[in-house]
Chain A
Amino acid sequence: MSMPYYVAPEQAMTDRADFARKGIAKGRALVALRYTDGIVLVAENTSQSLRKVSEIYDRVAFAGVGKYNEFDQLRVAGIRSAELTGYQYSRDDVDARGLANDYAQLLGNAFTHGMKPMEVEILVAEVGVEGSHEDQIFHIMYDGTVIDRPDTCALGGESEAISNRLSSGFADGFALVDAIRLGVSSLAGDGRSISADSLEIAILERNGERRCFHRLESSEVETALQG
């Protein structure tokens, strides 16, 4: 009987991480940033129907990059978890932190024990009730690492360069249009522009309504970019 080859744990983890990163780097990136009245999520997405950004609950949004079927499965799991919590307890008991932790468990488990790690990076954002000091953005990596991003967050291929552009351009007290423009220019980089129909933009808006998530129509995106 042949013995399986010995693979050092360090090597096994590095191989898995490389595999996941490669898969994620293939897709287009997305960013999230705060503005005065909430959080805006900007994704480069040529499809009008396969969404990267979506609503999870009253104040919580989800965004994912990488393998579509994998982050969509996570999106639906998040909606289910949120709705079950809200139904059993109260709508006030659903928060981004809890969801981010649950996602971290799923992704971490798939990374160490699964057949293959999930080739996704996701983001969970929550808009605060009282003001922007309560806004939260969690970035969850393919291996289950959770990072709390105070102002801005970039996911996907070339996220480091995008993240640098984003954080150097960010300022407190942005209006929505400022935030959209910074998000789009950070995604595009120097010497490239992204047209409105290749952008998927949604906001979590602090507007006193129960459901804070809204998608921007392509015409609204165009207006914001021209202005």
Chain B
Amino acid sequence: MTVVMPVFQPSDDPGTDFPMLLHRAGYGPVALPAGTTMDTPHATTCVAVRFVDGVVMAGDRRATSGNLISHRTMEKVVQADRHSGVAIAGAAGPAVDMIRLFQVQLEYYEKVQGSALSLEGKANQLASMVRANVPAAMQGMGVVPIFAGFDVRRSIGRLWAYDMLGGRYEEREHVATGSGSLHASTVIKVGYRAQLTRDDAVELVTRSLWEAADADSATGGPDMVRGIYPVVATIDSDGWSLVGDDELGDRYRSLIEQIGGSTS
């Protein structure tokens, strides 16, 4: 399809809603025939934790189809805009597409409207995208994201969990999603302190993903052979910042030494 410059009458203008614009341009979601379920790649464990200056988000890199590993380097934690990020678990295809649409929508809103959405506005926007995916969720293609960011109006880190129907729950300390979330959130619960520093928070999330990978076959651990580590990012008043593989490599090496020391 070629793109012609879209001009609308004031009465049917899609405004700041990019998914609506896509729909008008003839790009609707693909509807699966009723009753179909498909064994497509699924993405798993992601967590987010609040620390004193903001939030830290982390996710493993594995996608699975049934009992097979379909991707080793998937990025489930991505930057949404300057001060927020989104992490996903669930059907990988729809999830990646939802993230892309979400990123475009935030920037599109900002440009058309001349000012960015509030952090809460962004969280609600994501909820409506999850809700739009409910028919697919009923066929085993659900997407369960986490949204986290630094609220520049209130100068605090904030985080949100979702359910498959678009329910939106703001949490105060930490959230986790995906098949390994039970193990990951137990680690975080045990290790969580008020006023965590950035370093302690990064340590806590890397540890939580380690334990999730240890107990859940769909969650990938650090791959020291190939140098593939979870995606870990911090968001504070300066915005989004990825934690480098060097730092993650060091943290996992010392973790392995600790475990080796205690078991042998």
Contact = CB atoms under 8 A, between A and B. Distances in A.
Given A54-B111, A55-B111, A76-B112, A84 B25 contact: yes
Interface in A64-106: 73, 76-81, 83-88, 102-103, 105-106
B5 A102 contact: yes
A73 B7 contact: yes
A51 interface: yes
Kindly list the 10 A-B residue pairs having the minimum CB-CB distance in the complex, ordered from nearest.
Answer: A102-B5, A81-B5, A80-B6, A85-B3, A77-B5, A84-B3, A79-B111, A77-B7, A83-B108, A55-B111
B93 to A, nearest CB: 16
A83 B5 CA distance: 11
A108 to B, nearest CB: 12
Contacts of B225: none
Interface residues of A, number: 22
Interface residues of B, number: 19
Nearest to A51: B114
A56 interface: yes
A105 B5 CA distance: 9
Given A84-B25, A87-B22, A79 B7 contact: no
B3 A79 contact: no
B135 to A, nearest CB: 21
A86 B27 contact: no
Given A49-B114, A78-B5, A87-B101, 17 more contacts: A54-B111, A55-B111, A76-B112, A77-B5, A77-B6, A77-B7, A79-B111, A80-B6, A83-B104, A83-B107, A84-B21, A84-B25, A86-B104, A87-B100, A88-B1, A102-B4, A106-B5
From A56, A73, A76, name the one whose CB has the most chain B CB atoms within 10 angstroms: A76
Interface string A42-54: 0000000101001
Contacts of B27: 88
Interface string A125-149: 0000000000000000000000000
Contact of B111 (A56, A87, A103): A56
Contacts of B5: 77-78, 80-81, 102-103, 105-106
A106 to B, nearest CB: 6
